[in-house]
Structure 1
Amino acid sequence: MTSATIPHDPNEIYRQTQSRIYSLQETILDSTKDVRGNHDSTGKAANMLDDHLKFDALMAEKTLKKTNEYYTNSIIPLLKLNEEIYKNKVLSNIGTLQYHPTKTGKFSRSRHNTDEKLLLEPPSLLYYNQVYERNMPPPFLPALGLNHIHSLLTVHVLYEQLYDLFNESTSPRVNNNEIWGSDIYTDDSDPLLALKHCGFSIPNNKNKDRSYKHPSSGSNNEFRRTPANLENPDNVKGESYISTSKKFDLDITILYLQPLRYYPPMYRNGIWSRSWGEMSQFALEMDDEYCAPHDGLSFGIYELVIKPRDG
């Protein structure tokens, strides 16, 4: 069987490419060692200073170079491998889900059509629906099978939810820091936390600096707010509308990827993402049962579309 031929069984695809993915994951381990080392030393400094702004600035300076190396050496090869494996599979969007802070997204199905369809609720009912009904809500993204690898899914987010994200959030998922990985995340990670971790922001927040800084405003940071998009890692449509300070909703389109054995932590944009799995030399030398891949899919942000509010 040639690499250009895709087996009908998605499990067979994963088995055939497992070793190649794991070899790339060893590179991820090397690319994040220094970043993890910075966590301990700067964490102590942050406690002494008790100053989050200085802590953020310090960590941003220390991790910028390593973040860029990590993306170049680890994420790009994984995305290229995904494209190679699935080059004969049409990249299609399986549907849109309305984000909810405490519930798992669900697709609606028509009696006459089994295709997954857009499921939206009125903003007034959705956003004010008992946010505190659970302290440990289930993951928002529904569990999907291997047949959905190399597929897109869109998450529709209300402005009120974005505002909450950047202003002392009341969301249990945000407060629980439910995010595992960097640029590529586990499917039980919160997509809004991934959004912030990848650098998206809004101008209306309670931070000291309330001005919105467009990526072209001279920042020395390389914007990659859609890191799963190889052709355009900062694929944000409607960017100019953000700086108007008017309310807008947001469509986050994610790309589903293969399960990984290790998701590294990284500090970015005020968030320490968490690690999942093990890629130590000891684990690599043991059987798969000691270092099994994540039991769900992976995802990365592929596209962001600003949706201005009517009126």
Structure 2
Amino acid sequence: MNKVQKKSITLHISRIHSEGWWLGNDKEHVAAGTALGSDCTTVIYEPSKKGMTGKFDAINQTWSEVEDKSLNEFFSPVGQFFVIGTPDGDYPDWAVLEVPPEFDPETQTVLYAEKKWTVYPIQIGNSYWNEEGQELLISDFNFTLPEKHTFTRPPKVKKGYAVHLVDGKWKQLEDHREQIAFSKDRDNDEKGDYQVEELGLLPNTHTLLEPEQFDSWNEELGQWQYDPLRYRFVWAQDEKQWQQVKLTKVETELLFYAQDKQIPELYSELRKTHYSEDEYFSLLGDRILLNEYVQQDDFPECGRPTLSGLV
């Protein structure tokens, strides 16, 4: 605590910050019957060298000297200027000591990343496009164009095509997406039909032309054509099915006839069939004709056999 002066006097003093930091040396007039304020001391401090400052201990009336960091400069990662502000302060974790490059704050921003400064144009509201031609708007500062994007507006799309960004340039590619690609080789399951999901030409193994049931691909004409051999296979399957149905019915009637023969005439009303002997032989003939039908070399072109019509 400073003592009360018995007479008016001018003293050499060191001025003190409220937190005890040295603010410089000066002269202070003290009237008789008064004392220096708590922001002054007659214990004079002089920095030992440039960049040093003192902190006053009012209890012990002593100075301790520290490095003065109060005016040390640093920057935020977006280029804002700061000083540490207190002699014993320190840089925050995010501080950048490297001075940012010159930039126009009206049209540009800066950003410190990956140990270097980068100047960015302010592009908020500007358009850019993804690889499928979808327009997007820039909404952030320090914008970096993502991969597979461009600032170049895509061209007007031709009918049946879609634009796609390839190596940084727009290309118009055939667009058959969501259509069915039909395999030209209808007998190869590995090259079956599929729904198109990507842009571009179809493989030579497929076409967008839909075949009829009995068509095969004519490579020379570049189109489907009716194929008798393909129809013949289906026709033969149908005829075999018809033959089996008829043959089953005939053999069933023949079995019933044989069973009925075991029933005495007295109980003839219990019989399931009432064929005459001639009709029985006609059924036997039907069975022979049906079996021979599918064994002929020109089946099914030979035509169905003429049956008795009993079943």
**For this structure pair, what is the TM-score category when the shorter chain's length is used for normalisation?**
under 0.3
Tell me which structure has the larger Cα radius of gyration: 2
Structure with the higher strand share, 1 or 2: 2
Query: Which of 1 and 2 has higher RCO (CA within 8 Å, sep 6+)?
Result: 1
TM-score (norm 2): 0.14
